[in-house]
Structure 1
Amino acid sequence: MKVLTIIGARPQFIKAAPVSRELRRHAHEVLVHSGQHYDAAMSDVFFEELEIPRPDYHLGIGSKSHGEQTGEMLARVERVLIEEKPDWVMVYGDTNTTLAGALAAAKLDIPVAHVEAGLRSFNRKMPEEINRVLTDHVSRLLFCPTDTAVSHLQREGITAGVYQVGDVMVDALLHNRQLAQQSSRVLDQFNLVPKGYILATWHRAENTDDPARLASIAAALNALQQPTVLPLHPRTRQRLEQASLKLDNPQLHLLTPVGYLDMLQLEANASLILTDSGGVQKEAFLLQVPCVTMRDETEWTETVEQGANRLVGADSQAILQAVEEINVDFNRVQPVFGDGRASKRIIETLTQQI
Structure 2
Amino acid sequence: MLVTIIAGARPNFMKIAPIIEAIKKAGDQGHAISYRLVHTGQHYDKKMSGDFFEQLGIPEPDTNLEAGGGTQAEQTAAIMVRFEQELLSHRPDLVLVVGDVTSTMACAITAQKLCVPVAHVEAGIRSGDWSMPEEINRMVTDSISNYFFTTSEVANQNLLQAGIGRDRIFFVGNTMIDTLLKQQPKFRAPQFWDELGLKKKEYLVMTLHRPSNVDEPEQLARLLDVLEKGTEQLPVIFPVHPRTRNNMEKFGITTNHVKAVEPLSYLEFNYLVQHAKGVITDSGGITEETTVMGVPCMTLRTSTERPETCTIGTNELLGTDSEALKDALEVLFAGNWKKGGIPELWDGKTAGRIVEALLRLHQPEKAALA
- TM-score range (shorter-chain normalised) is over 0.9
| Structure with the greater alpha carbon radius of gyration | 2
Give, in whole Å, the separation in 1 of the partners of 2:21 and 2:196.
Answer: 33
Aligned partner of 1:136 in structure 2 is 142
Gaps of at least 5 residues in structure 1 are none
Q: CA deviation at 1:208?
A: 2.8
Give, in whole Å, the separation in 1 of the partners of 2:277 and 2:249.
Answer: 29
| 1:294 and 1:311 in contact (8 A); partners too | yes
Of 34, 47, 52, the residue aligned with 2:53 is 47
**1:124 counterpart letter in structure 2:** W
Give, in whole Å, the separation in 2 of the partners of 1:292 and 1:137.
Answer: 31
CA offset digits 1:198-219 (Å, max 9, x no partner): 0101112443335554343333
1:322 aligns to 2:362 (yes or no):
no
Give, in whole Å, the separation in 1 of the partners of 2:342 and 2:241.
Answer: 32
**Structural mapping, 1:275-290, within 5 Å:** 275-290=281-296
1:345 aligns to 2:356 (yes or no):
no
Of 251, 254, 276, the residue aligned with 2:257 is 251
| 1:307 and 1:328 in contact (8 A); partners too | no
What TM-score, normalized by structure 2, do the two folds share?
A: 0.90
Aligned partner of 1:173 in structure 2 is 180
- CA distance 1:28–1:307, shift in 2 (3 Å): closer
| 2:97 and 2:120 in contact (8 A); partners too | yes
| 2:292 and 2:341 in contact (8 A); partners too | no
Aligned partner of 1:57 in structure 2 is 63
3-state SS, counterpart of residue 24 of structure 1: helix
**Structural mapping, 1:5-84, within 5 Å:** 5-25=5-25, 26=27, 27-84=33-90
**2:205 counterpart letter in structure 1:** L
Aligned partner of 2:213 in structure 1 is 207
C-alpha RMSD of matched pairs (Å): 1.8
- CA distance 1:268–1:56, shift in 2 (3 Å): same
3-state SS, counterpart of residue 29 of structure 1: strand
Give, in whole Å, the separation in 2 of the partners of 1:163 and 1:206.
Answer: 34
1:111 aligns to 2:117 (yes or no):
yes
Q: CA deviation at 1:189?
A: 5.4
Q: CA deviation at 1:185?
A: 5.9
CA offset digits 1:126-148 (Å, max 9, x no partner): 11011001101111110001111
3-state SS, counterpart of residue 353 of structure 1: helix
CA offset digits 1:247-298 (Å, max 9, x no partner): 32x2111110000001110010000000011111110111000000011111
| 2:224 and 2:258 in contact (8 A); partners too | no
Q: CA deviation at 1:123?
A: 1.0
**1:91 counterpart letter in structure 2:** V
Matched residues, percent identical? 39
- CA distance 1:205–1:53, shift in 2 (3 Å): farther
**2:11 counterpart letter in structure 1:** P
CA offset digits 1:142-194 (Å, max 9, x no partner): 0001111101111111124100001112211110001115x866634543100
